[in-house]
Amino acid sequence: MDWEPVQKPAEIAEKRLLEAILSSHFPINSNLPGERELAVQIGVTRPTLRETLQRLARDGWLDIQHGKPTRIRDFWREGNLAVLSILAQFPTKLPPDFIVHLLELRVLLAPAYAQQALSAAPHEITSLLENYTDLEDNPAVYAKADWELHTQLTQWSTNPVFRLLLNGFQKLYILMGEHYFAFPQCRRHSQNFYQALHKCARRGADRAGGLLTRRVMEESLALWQKMQEENI
């Protein structure tokens, strides 16, 4: 039997506070209620609440100053990578253009880590992509396969920061991917990319692979935007 892990009180408090912040129950730049009242609202003890508040302050969500109310920081402007990673865990709370912003970031990053990976590990990429020629024509399968490809490319790249940036987005990436790959033209588009990248890896054409990746990532962004417009 698969048992779901029991959440600790501090984890429950953190999740409830973050949901309240992201749903604007506690808006940006507003002050949180006092500890006693907030602990009652969340349903935890005051020591547990203090632990949670300190962790959220460390990660860029809260501004805690002695003798002043705790302020919700403008995490879009004052946040850090920890905020970005946590945002990815709350896909239903994100603004509509958040995925577009992530895809824009991928346009900038993916060509660089793909070219580095093609230079450092062409044989490994060739071997991986040989399994992509007969992917089941299913959105979930494509989403998982696409995540694995980009994850491996960052692992084989020479810049470890690429891996750190991508590691926090697995849940959101696959969820977004299942929506994206629900459209047959998107699956065909990516299948063409996998085959073309496979050829680059076999030839050791790292620069061509980087240029290919940039073009395909730009096309993927345009496809996503087109699909969103058609769904409005």
- How many structural domains compose the chain? 2
Do 132 and 165 share a structural domain? yes
Give me the pLDDT at residue 4, please.
53
Q: 205: Cβ–Cβ under 8 A, 6 or more apart, which residues?
A: 118, 199
Report, as ranges of residue numbers, the positions in the chain whose pLDDT lies below 70: 1-6, 231-232
Q: Which parts of the chain fold into alpha helices (H)?
A: 9-22, 35-42, 46-58, 75-78, 81-87, 98-120, 122-129, 139-156, 160-167, 170-180, 184-203, 206-231
**Is 172 part of a structural domain of the chain?**
yes
Question: Using CA atoms, how far apart are residues 100 and 84, in angstroms rounded to an integer?
Answer: 14
Q: What is the pTM of this model?
A: 0.79
Verify that 82 and 175 share a domain, yes or no: no
Query: Any idea what the CATH number is for the domain that residue 81 is in?
Result: 1.10.10.10
Alpha carbons within 13 angstroms on the beta-carbon side of residue 69 total 12
pLDDT digits (tens, 9 = 90+) for 25-84: 999 999 999 999 999 999 999 999 999 999 999 988 999 998 899 999 998 888 877 887
**Closest-CA residue to 214 (of 120, 127, 126, 103):** 103
Q: What is the pLDDT of residue 1?
A: 47
Residue 46 pLDDT: 93
Q: Are residues 48 and 143 in the same domain?
A: no
**Cβ atoms 82, 62 nearer than 8 A:** no
Domain of residue 79, residue span: 9-87
**78 and 110 part of one domain:** no
How many other CB atoms sit within 10 Å of the CB of residue 226?
12
